Amino acid sequence: MFWVIVVTILVILYEWPKMDKEQKKEKWAFAGLTMAGFLLAVMLIYFPDTPGPNQLVGEIFRPLGKLME
């Protein structure tokens, strides 16, 4: 958990100053994606048997695939 926090902070400290002050949408997108990645990493640390994103997409689109057959 400690290393996930350290890496996240390092990424933010490295990337944030490179963005212009006018890039508000890009900063919001960066913050959202960074937070999503951080939460996913923490969730996988505490719940390692959690299904991955590919399995989620497979479950969502399986009925659509059956209809197309």
pLDDT given for residue 14 in this prediction:
93
pLDDT in tens, 1-55: 899 999 999 999 999 888 888 888 999 999 999 999 999 889 889 988 888 778 8
Number of domains in the chain: 1
Q: Residue 50 in contact with residue 44, Cβ under 8 Å?
A: yes
Secondary structure of residue 22 in the 3-state scheme: coil
pLDDT given for residue 17 in this prediction:
87
User: Domain range for residue 13?
Assistant: 2-68
pLDDT given for residue 38 in this prediction:
92
